[in-house]
Amino acid sequence: MKHFVLAWMVLLGGVVALPARAAATYFTTPQVLKEFFPQSQRVTYRKVKLGPAEQAALQGRLGYKPAKAEYVFFVATTGEHVDGYALIDEELGQHEQITFAVKLSPEGTVERHEVMVYREAYGQEISDARFRRQFQGKTVKDPVRAGTDIDVVTGATISSRSMAVGVRRALILLDELVLKPDASRNTKG
Amino acid sequence: MTPSRPLLLVLSLLLVPLAARAQDEAPPPPARDTPRVPELQPPAPPEGPRLELEGLEDPANPSGTAPPAEGTSATNEQDTFRQRLQPTSTLSQRAAAILDRTTLGGYAEHDFIVPGRGKSTFRNHRYVLFVYSHISERISTATEIEFEFAGSPLKRDGMLTTGEVLLEFSVVDLKLTDWLTFRAGVILVPVGAYNLRHDAPAQELPERPIAYTTVVPTTWFESGAGFLGGFDLGRDWRLSYEAYAINGLDARILDEQGFRAARGSHLEDNNHDKALTARVSLSPFLGLEGAVSGYTGAYDLEGRRVNMLNADVFWRIGAWDLTGEVVRAFIDPGFVQGFPDGSTGNTRDRVPTGMFGFYAQANYRFRIEPFFRLLPDEWHDGHFTASLRYEEKDTDTEFITVGDAARLTLGLNFRPLPPYVLKTSVWWEKAGGDGLKPHLWTRDFWSQGHWTALASVAYLF
């Protein structure tokens, strides 16, 4: 009995001492921006409202109407040089929204993908590095489709697909709303 | 008897600094592409860009579902949780607090079966409701309530009989660390992958493998408790585990049915022995997973045991999914007995001394682009899947009986969206009732077998 009580005390004590992480909040907005652009001088943002022309163009490229009427692009700069862009967005998982962030190069290539908040009961494996790493190097020319060029996590098929849909949307949003208008402005100028 | 006071004092002195250390020491910010762990209060890096975000509504919290700001989420959730427990809180306040953290969902499957022998029928096969709830930050509960064949009463042979409404899965999880969660309740027994991932919308063929409804009696659930978790091993490898003590199988172990009638002891164990079951899986990269699992437990009052070993593998290569499992059960010789006097369970039938089964399945995903262009926008990412499965079961390895069966299944399904699938399949099956061991490669498999066709719709909501 004495040994049993002691064993329980050691077990409980050990459990108290273990650094448990329970909330599935991986990053807040400031944290993810500092993580994405540690070398940049500043990060600011650009809001783009979708007019009928933008909505029609996006629907044509995405295959569905974007959920928001306005998107926020974070822009990291050093001096006058644009270091990159970031987009924070949400996509429905099996039951709950998954908040994620995508870091894109000035040319619009995915450099990094992070799950910021995961609220589902299961499928948390999509926040593993080996799943997220698949998005690196993707451009608007890639399908970015679960089961085609993105391997899904076994047991988390729907969340995997949601992330593929979300990253593809980020690529197209940046291209359509930021890079294309900028290029057009530069050409005209 | 209690431990001596000096010993308790020493233990307390040892543990308090450890606990304090765990709370005080914040982990360093995660490096690029390292495995992620959720951060309760991660520190802001001391250097980095100047953030000029004034006037911006946090895009990570557009719907109010994400935590509002750094360091406040945990506090607010805990405050809400404490308020819920106040005796002055009203029922509606409690209900609102519970609903905020509860998810309702489920899945269902409806069949139409055309047997080569017998009559065709629609079957309302299963309707399963999920309830997931975060009781607190570290404690969550998940329950699946199944109505099989529309629940109870069930009309069979023209008479109303008892149907099935079951808690197939109902657990409460206490997350101790990222790699250690304590689970208690009605547990899915982790023997093989199929039992753990049996949800109909996740499967490509409408019918479960024959060995995995008998030798491993999917859905195999038992009351018990244990631990689960996973570790990253280096850059790509991942090891996951589940290990539980459960009431375990009783003595209703029969040829043909396998362990199906011996599972699910929620009210009482039939003996003092607690069965142990575990599964360890290793995944070297995304898309490949192999696992071994097992079960050991006494099935009667005399301590006769069932031991079971299972191996499973899943490999995704491009558009192909290759999966398979093999199971072998070793059973001490005995009889169906040991239930209370007068119980009809004491049939004294002989218990088989061994069982065996396996399946190997290939799924090929494909698209027919012109077809998908005709569909509504939201179905444009859909796909078809063609499946081929060969499987065998032997629920009594000593004799060749009707419990021996071999089956070859061909399936085609259409999945416009991941949570919705229309499945069709046809299978050819031969049982061992004629005394000949059925195998695909024997001539009587084709000459003595029979076909069945099955179509189903399965969806997740």
* pLDDT in 10s for each residue of chain A, 189 residues: 566 566 666 555 554 444 444 347 889 999 999 999 999 999 999 999 999 999 999 998 998 889 899 999 999 999 999 999 999 999 998 888 999 999 999 999 999 999 999 888 788 889 989 999 999 999 999 999 888 899 888 878 889 999 999 999 999 999 999 998 877 766 654
**Average pLDDT in chain B:** 86
- What CA–CA distance (Å, rounded) separates B172 from B445? 47
Residue numbers in A near B36 (CB within 8 A): 26, 114-115, 127-129
pLDDT tens across B223-242, in order?
999 999 998 898 889 999 99
B45 and A CB contact within 8 Å: yes
Residue numbers in B near A115 (CB within 8 A): 36
- For residue B219, whether the previous peptide bond is cis, meaning omega lies within 30 degrees of 0, is yes
Residue numbers in B near A144 (CB within 8 A): none
Say what the alpha-carbon torsion angle A147, A153, A158, A161 is, to the nearest 10 degrees: -40
**Band of residue B418 on the pLDDT scale cut at 50, 70, 90:** confident
pLDDT of residue B413: 97
- Report the percentage of chain B scoring pLDDT > 90: 62
What pTM, to 2 d.p., does this model score? 0.81
**Mean pLDDT within B250-275:** 92
Instruction: Note whether ipTM > 0.95 here.
Output: no
Tokens of B184: 């208690």
pLDDT of residue B13: 46
**Mean pLDDT within B144-154:** 89
Q: Do A22 and B65 touch (CB under 8 A)?
A: no
Place of tokens 């190069």: A105
With a cut of 50, say whether residue B22 has pLDDT above it. no
Domains of chain B: 114-124+190-460 (2.40.160)
Q: Do B22 and A13 touch (CB under 8 A)?
A: no
The C-alpha of B219 sits at a distance from chain A's nearest C-alpha, in angstroms, of 16
pLDDT of residue A189: 44
> Which of B2, B51, B460 comes nearest A43 by C-beta?
B51
**Residue B304 CB partners (closer than 8 Å, separation 6+):** B298, B331, B332, B333, B334, B351
B7 and A CB contact within 8 Å: yes
Tokens of A176: 């359509």
Q: Tell me, what amino acid is at B455? A: A
B332-337: long-range contacts, CB 8 A cutoff, minimum separation 24: B332/B299, B332/B304, B332/B305, B332/B306, B333/B304, B334/B251, B334/B299, B334/B300, B334/B302, B334/B304, B335/B251, B335/B300, B336/B251, B336/B252, B336/B253, B336/B254, B337/B251, B337/B300
Q: Do A28 and B67 touch (CB under 8 A)?
A: yes
**Mean pLDDT within B42-68:** 66
- How far is CA B54 from its chain centroid? 47
Residue numbers in A near B176 (CB within 8 A): 15, 18, 20
Place of tokens 């199944």: B146
Chain B residue at shortest CA distance from A25: B38
Q: Do A21 and B105 touch (CB under 8 A)?
A: no
Angle of the B91-100 helix axis to the B73-85 helix axis, nearest 10: 150
Disruptive mutation site among A34, A68, A91, A130 for chain B (greatest number of B CBs within 10 Å):
A130
CB B126 within 8 A of CB B110: no
Q: Do A128 and B180 touch (CB under 8 A)?
A: no
Q: Do B2 and A2 touch (CB under 8 A)?
A: yes
pLDDT of residue B4: 54
Residue numbers in B near A114 (CB within 8 A): 36
- What CA–CA distance (Å, rounded) separates B25 from B17? 11
**Residue A32 CB partners (closer than 8 Å, separation 6+):** A86, A88, A101, A114, A116, B60
The strand pairing partners of B282, in sequence order, are B239, B290
Disruptive mutation site among B39, B135, B169, B242 for chain A (greatest number of A CBs within 10 Å):
B39
**Band of residue B341 on the pLDDT scale cut at 50, 70, 90:** confident
Residue numbers in A near B1 (CB within 8 A): 1-2, 5
Neighbouring CB atoms inside 10 A of B436's CB total 16
Q: Are strands B50-51 and A42-49 parallel, antiparallel or unpaired?
A: parallel
**Mean pLDDT within B325-346:** 92
Tokens of B392: 């065998």
**Band of residue B53 on the pLDDT scale cut at 50, 70, 90:** confident
Q: Please state the φ and ψ torsions of residue B13, each to the nearest 5 degrees.
A: -65, -35
Give me the half-sphere count of Cα atoms (radius 13 Å) on the Cβ side of residue B180. Answer: 9
User: What one-character-per-residue DSSP string does B231-244 give?
Assistant: EEETTTEEEEEEEE
> Which of A1, A6, A129 comes nearest B33 by C-beta?
A129
Residue numbers in B near A9 (CB within 8 A): 3, 8, 11
Tokens of B94: 């409690």
With a cut of 70, say whether residue B459 has pLDDT above it. yes
B369 and A CB contact within 8 Å: no
Q: Tell me, what amino acid is at B30? A: P
Angle of the A2-17 helix axis to the B5-24 helix axis, nearest 10: 20
Q: Which of B87-96, B209-218, B354-363, B364-373 has the lowest mean pLDDT?
A: B87-96
Q: Do A116 and B66 touch (CB under 8 A)?
A: yes
The C-alpha of A169 sits at a distance from chain B's nearest C-alpha, in angstroms, of 14
Q: Are strands A81-92 and A70-78 parallel, antiparallel or unpaired?
A: antiparallel
Disruptive mutation site among A21, A33, A97 for chain B (greatest number of B CBs within 10 Å):
A21
> Which of A6, A38, A101 comes nearest B48 by C-beta?
A38
Nearest to A119 by CA among B34, B202, B73: B73
Q: Which of A40-49, B123-132, B161-170 has the lowest mean pLDDT?
A: B161-170
B418 and A CB contact within 8 Å: yes
**Residue B322 CB partners (closer than 8 Å, separation 6+):** B313, B314, B315, B316, B360, B361, B362
The C-alpha of A180 sits at a distance from chain B's nearest C-alpha, in angstroms, of 23
Residue numbers in B near A145 (CB within 8 A): 381
Q: Do A13 and B176 touch (CB under 8 A)?
A: no
- For residue B153, whether the previous peptide bond is cis, meaning omega lies within 30 degrees of 0, is yes
Tokens of B44: 């802001």
Place of tokens 């106040």: B86
Reduced to 3 states (helix: H, G, I; strand: E, B; else coil), residue B388 is strand
pLDDT of residue B26: 42
B67 and A CB contact within 8 Å: yes
User: What one-character-per-residue DSSP string does B205-216 give?
Assistant: SSS--GGGTTTS
Disruptive mutation site among A1, A2, A29 for chain B (greatest number of B CBs within 10 Å):
A29
Give me the half-sphere count of Cα atoms (radius 13 Å) on the Cβ side of residue B21. Answer: 11
With a cut of 80, say whether residue B23 has pLDDT above it. no
Place of tokens 């899915």: B188
Q: Do A130 and B51 touch (CB under 8 A)?
A: no
**Mean pLDDT within B338-361:** 92
Q: Tell me, what amino acid is at B274? A: K
B151-160: long-range contacts, CB 8 A cutoff, minimum separation 24: none
**Band of residue B115 on the pLDDT scale cut at 50, 70, 90:** very high
Q: Do A28 and B33 touch (CB under 8 A)?
A: no
Between residues A21 and B165, which one has the greater pLDDT? B165
The C-alpha of B160 sits at a distance from chain A's nearest C-alpha, in angstroms, of 37
> Which of B15, B39, B65 comes nearest A97 by C-beta?
B65
The strand pairing partners of B430, in sequence order, are B406
**Residue A178 CB partners (closer than 8 Å, separation 6+):** A46, A48, A73, A85
The strand pairing partners of B161, in sequence order, are B154
pLDDT of residue B264: 83
Place of tokens 């990159």: A84
Disruptive mutation site among B51, B100, B366 for chain A (greatest number of A CBs within 10 Å):
B51
CB B210 within 8 A of CB B393: yes
The burial class, CB within 10 Å (0-12 / 13-18 / 19+), for B351 is buried
CB B205 within 8 A of CB B409: yes
The burial class, CB within 10 Å (0-12 / 13-18 / 19+), for B416 is middle
B324-348 burial by CB neighbour count: b if 16+ within 10 A, else e? bbbbbbebeebbbbbbeeeeeebee
**Mean pLDDT within B421-429:** 98
Nearest to A126 by CA among A86, A144, A103, A99: A99
Angle of the A157-174 helix axis to the A52-62 helix axis, nearest 10: 130
With a cut of 50, say whether residue B122 has pLDDT above it. yes
pLDDT tens across B296-311, in order?
999 999 999 999 999 9
The C-alpha of B207 sits at a distance from chain A's nearest C-alpha, in angstroms, of 19
